[in-house]
């Protein structure tokens, strides 16, 4: 019998049991956010905290609808960190859609494929630019995809991928495209082998079957044939080579949204949207993510100035502050300490247009984040920096386990633990299948290891 390929539907009794156990155990906002971050739950979908029952009920609705591909990663997280997994064993046995099947492949629901989507990050709406992007995508859909590609450009870590993700989640976009939204993340060192795996993986998510291909072109064409229905929104994230855009054509009902650091890689005739740093209000909202109801600390505006409205740096600082709250350090003294650290190593006010300022700000913020990492795992920084020796910022789990076993004798369990910690601090994205570094962070690690 083939494995189920549709989102799970639980009985009311099972659902209530799950919510009771989880709400009792993860009754604080800190632990709830920490757990969801560690299992790769999209942060822009994490609901606002009201009370634990309401919070986990909304999370469960999203899980049922396929936002998190399966509940087995949540169960694994409970096993690793908490003592109540036995209370949930019966649920896992009764729901084959939510576990790893015998082949070792996690069953994922069919339909919308947002795998490889925007990196997890505390998110603010940025309503104005997100709305404009959604408007242009709707215009492109009305023209049958012939109105041109929509391209988001800007500095690495400035929020292009997050804005693309928010636009793709716009209710108007979902109404028009339905399940026909695919997200492909490429990156600066995307090899032919990775492209083939990317196209084949997305095709298998659509069709439920797997195929092997020898060339990128054949894999791309097969992927295009699998997605027959129109209109179709294809998001190509972090494109670095113009020829990558030529693999999958647009028009004929195909609407393309591309994110890129360089304008030159966008297809001719693209609608170009430059993504700029956040303003002060947006920056403060991002800095205070997960601190709803808390007064803004006195050092907040200084931190915003030192990070220059750069979402990547603000997200790193935010996760450090959340991490310190888990260590029972109050927000006010934690923010002052972080501000002092940033001031010691970085610019007083970051000008993102200055390469020297950016380098100093990245160095200062990374030191703050690595300090948090080392408090949990004393060898964490050394293992993390070693990733700079790898050519690609995307490393599949099997390769990573082998790499850290070869360099440090780390077990698979310790590798998983470190990856989850990196994910929780926004130093990387980890979804149990691969570890993904932001380009700016990968460049920093390569510099630290002497590779420019």
Q: How far is CA 48 from the centre of its chain?
A: 18
**What are the pLDDT digits (tens) for 86-122?**
556 666 566 544 432 222 222 233 333 344 454 445 5
Task: Please give the C-alpha separations between residue 328 and each of 38, 177, 234, 334, 381, in angstroms, as whole numbers.
Answer: 20, 45, 44, 10, 23
CA distance 102 to 235: 32
Confidence of residue 38 (pLDDT cuts 50, 70, 90): low
Read off φ and ψ for residue 290, nearest 5 degrees.
Answer: 80, 5
CA distance 209 to 384: 36
Contact by Cβ (8 Å): 130, 169: no
**CATH no. for 127-274:** 3.40.50.300
CA distance 273 to 116: 22
Note if the pTM is more than 0.85.
no
Out of 93-107, 195-209, 248-262, 390-404, give the one with best mean pLDDT: 390-404
Confidence of residue 227 (pLDDT cuts 50, 70, 90): confident
Token readout for 53 is: 């029952």
Token readout for 148 is: 């041109």
Token readout for 8 is: 């799970």
Least confidently predicted of 12-21, 55-64, 77-86, 176-185: 77-86
Contact by Cβ (8 Å): 62, 45: yes
Which residue, 245, 259, 281, is CA-closest to 158? 259
Token readout for 7 is: 């989102």
Per-residue pLDDT averaged across 400-408, rounded? Answer: 92
Q: Which residue has the tokens 């990128």?
A: 216
pLDDT of residue 42: 65
- Coil, helix or strand at residue 173: helix
Q: Which residue has the tokens 């700016």?
A: 440
Longest dimension (CA), the chain: 63
pLDDT of residue 95: 56
- Coil, helix or strand at residue 115: coil
Domain ranges of the chain: 12-98, 127-274, 280-448
**What are the pLDDT digits (tens) for 66-94?**
555 445 556 656 655 554 555 566 665 66
CA distance 107 to 5: 7
Q: Which residue has the tokens 């993504």?
A: 275
Per-residue pLDDT averaged across 126-143, rounded? Answer: 91
Contact by Cβ (8 Å): 303, 331: no
- Strand 254-260 relative to strand 271-274: parallel, antiparallel, unpaired? unpaired
Q: Which residue has the tokens 């927000």?
A: 331
pLDDT of residue 427: 93
Residue 198 has pLDDT above 90, yes or no: no
Round the average pLDDT of the chain to a whole number and report it.
Answer: 80
pLDDT of residue 2: 33
CA distance 21 to 322: 24
Per-residue pLDDT averaged across 157-185, rounded? Answer: 89
- Find all residues with CB under 8 Å of 175, minimum gap 6, and list them: none
Token readout for 115 is: 């795998």
Q: Which residue has the tokens 């390769």?
A: 399
Per-residue pLDDT averaged across 22-48, rounded? Answer: 70
Token readout for 13 is: 């009794």
Token readout for 431 is: 């979804």
Per-residue pLDDT averaged across 275-300, rounded? Answer: 91
């Amino acid at each position: 019998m083939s494995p189920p390929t549709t989102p799970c539907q639980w009985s009311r009794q099972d659902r209530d049991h799950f919510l009771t156990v989880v709400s009792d155990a993860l009754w604080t906002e800190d632990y709830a956010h920490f757990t969801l971050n560690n299992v790769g739950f999209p942060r822009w979908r994490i609901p606002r905290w009201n009370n634990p029952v309401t919070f986990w009920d909304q999370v469960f609705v999203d899980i049922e609808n396929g936002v998190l591909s399966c509940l087995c990663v949540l169960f694994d997280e409970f096993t690793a960190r908490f003592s109540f997994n036995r209370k949930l064993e019966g649920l896992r046995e009764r729901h084959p859609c939510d576990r790893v099947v015998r082949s070792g492949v996690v069953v994922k629901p069919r339909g919308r494929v947002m795998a490889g989507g925007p990196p997890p990050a505390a998110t603010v709406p940025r309503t104005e630019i997100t709305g404009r992007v959604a408007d242009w995508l709707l215009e492109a859909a009305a023209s049958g995809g012939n109105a041109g590609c929509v391209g988001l450009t800007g500095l690495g870590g400035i929020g292009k991928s997050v804005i693309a993700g928010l636009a793709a989640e716009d209710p108007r976009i979902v109404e028009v495209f339905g399940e026909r939204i695919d997200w492909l993340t490429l990156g600066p060192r995307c090899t032919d082998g990775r492209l083939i795996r990317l196209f084949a993986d997305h095709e298998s998510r659509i069709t439920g079957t797997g195929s092997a291909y020898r060339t990128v072109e054949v894999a791309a064409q097969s992927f295009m044939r699998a997605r027959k229905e129109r209109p179709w929104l294809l998001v190509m994230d972090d494109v670095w080579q113009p020829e990558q855009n030529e693999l999958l054509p647009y028009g004929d009902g195909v609407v393309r949204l591309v994110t890129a650091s360089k304008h030159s890689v966008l297809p001719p005739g693209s609608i170009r949207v430059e993504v700029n740093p956040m303003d002060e209000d947006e920056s403060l909202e991002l800095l205070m993510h997960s601190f709803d109801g808390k007064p803004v600390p006195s050092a907040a505006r200084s931190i915003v100035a030192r990070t220059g409205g750069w979402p990547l740096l603000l997200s790193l600082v935010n996760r450090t502050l959340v991490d310190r709250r888990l260590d029972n350090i109050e927000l006010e003294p934690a923010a002052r300490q972080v501000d002092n650290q940033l001031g010691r190593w970085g610019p007083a006010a970051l000008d993102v247009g200055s390469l020297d300022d950016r380098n100093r700000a990245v160095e200062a913020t990374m030191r703050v984040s690595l300090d948090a990492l080392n408090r949990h795992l004393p060898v964490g920084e050394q293992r993390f920096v070693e990733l700079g020796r790898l050519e690609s910022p995307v490393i599949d789990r099997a390769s990573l386990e082998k790499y850290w076993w070869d360099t440090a004798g780390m077990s698979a369990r310790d590798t998983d633990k470190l990856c989850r910690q990196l994910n929780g601090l926004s130093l990387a994205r980890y979804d149990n299948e691969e570890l993904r570094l932001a380009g700016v962070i990968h460049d920093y690690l390569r510099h630290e290891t002497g590779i420019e």
